């Protein structure tokens, strides 16, 4: 009988117990995704390597702050990578800690539905969902996430009121979430 691979949550639990092999397994699972995001933001191989290295060091040191069943391990890990890449991009070393490692806020667990959705997602499904968004919402999300711009910088670049940019990002992300859910349900029905 073939042995099953450990889940991300099992690996993170092992990392909390200082299991270096578990860290290496998690790294192997997400190294390409993490590096690709950092490289897309920074457009510099050395900086992207630094960001991935710092991010997995952060995972090693702060694995205890991860709680299974919230936004998912991939979202947690990628938020660490993205946050560190943004720090490097903006040249600031002193930003306040934000959500990736913050376990201080009580919150209802995310739905089981999303957990299943997340496991089924593919690159083409996400790109397709992004392409389905209204152009102005997609543009604001991409400038922020892939371009590393702040909301004020986006408002300046697009010559829009700040409130409009805030609304587009928020509405766009809600719509993206719905599209991704709907897309994976369609796959189930096929």
Partner 1 sequence: MDDGEMHDLVGAYVLDALSPAETRAFQEHLQSCPECRLEVYQLQEAVGALPLAVDQVEPPADLFDRIRDTIENERPALKPITGGRPTPRRPVPWSYLEIAVAAAAAVLIVALGAWNIHLQSQISTNKAALRYQHAVNQAILNGGRVSKVPGTAVAPGATAALVQPAHPGPGYLIVQGLPNLKANRVYEVWLVKPSRPPVPAGVFGSPGQGLQIWQLSKSAKGFPITAVTEEPGPHGSQAPHGPKVLAGAVST
112 binds partner 1 (CB under 8 A): no
Task: Tell me how far, at minimum, the Cβ of 136 lies from partner 1, in Å.
Answer: 13
Least distance (Å) from partner 1 to the CB of residue 174?
7
Largest CA-CA distance found in the chain, in angstroms, rounded: 61
Applying CB under 8 A, does 122 fall inside the site for partner 1?
A: yes
Angle made by CA atoms 110, 111, 112, in degrees to the nearest 5:
120
Assigned token pair, 124:
């083409």
Q: Least distance (Å) from partner 1 to the CB of residue 84?
A: 9
By CB under 8 A, is residue 74 in contact with partner 1?
A: yes
By CB under 8 A, name the one of 9, 44, 68, 151 that touches partner 1. 151
- What's the min distance (Å) between Cβ of 178 and partner 1? 9
Query: CA 129 to CA 182: how far, in whole Å?
Result: 10
Handedness of CA 24, 39, 98, 72 (dihedral sign): negative
Helix axes 45-62, 20-42, angle to 10 degrees: 140
Answer for which of 1, 17, 97, 189 binds partner 1 (CB under 8 A) is: 97
Residue 106 touches partner 1, criterion: CB under 8 A = yes
Enumerate residues 17-46 that contact partner 1 by CB under 8 A: 20, 23-24, 27-28, 31-37, 39-40, 45
């Amino acid at each position: 009988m073939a042995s099953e691979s450990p889940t991300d949550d099992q690996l993170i639990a092992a990392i909390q117990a200082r299991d270096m092999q578990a860290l290496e397994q998690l790294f192997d699972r997400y190294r390409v995704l993490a590096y690709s995001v950092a490289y897309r933001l920074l457009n510099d191989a050395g900086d992207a390597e630094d960001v991935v290295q710092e991010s997995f060091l952060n995972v090693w040191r702060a694995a205890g702050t991860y709680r299974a069943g919230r936004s998912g391990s991939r979202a947690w890990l990628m938020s660490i990578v993205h946050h560190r890449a943004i720090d490097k991009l903006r040249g600031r070393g002193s930003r306040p800690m934000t959500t990736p490692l913050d376990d201080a806020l009580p919150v209802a667990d995310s739905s089981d539905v999303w957990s299943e959705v997340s496991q089924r997602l593919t690159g083409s499904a996400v790109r397709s969902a992004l392409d389905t968004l209204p152009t102005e919402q997609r543009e604001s999300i991409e400038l922020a996430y892939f371009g590393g711009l702040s909301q004020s910088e986006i408002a300046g670049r697009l010559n829009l009121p700040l409130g409009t940019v805030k609304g587009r990002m928020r509405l766009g992300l809600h719509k993206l979430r719905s599209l991704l859910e709907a897309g994976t349900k369609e796959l189930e029905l096929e």
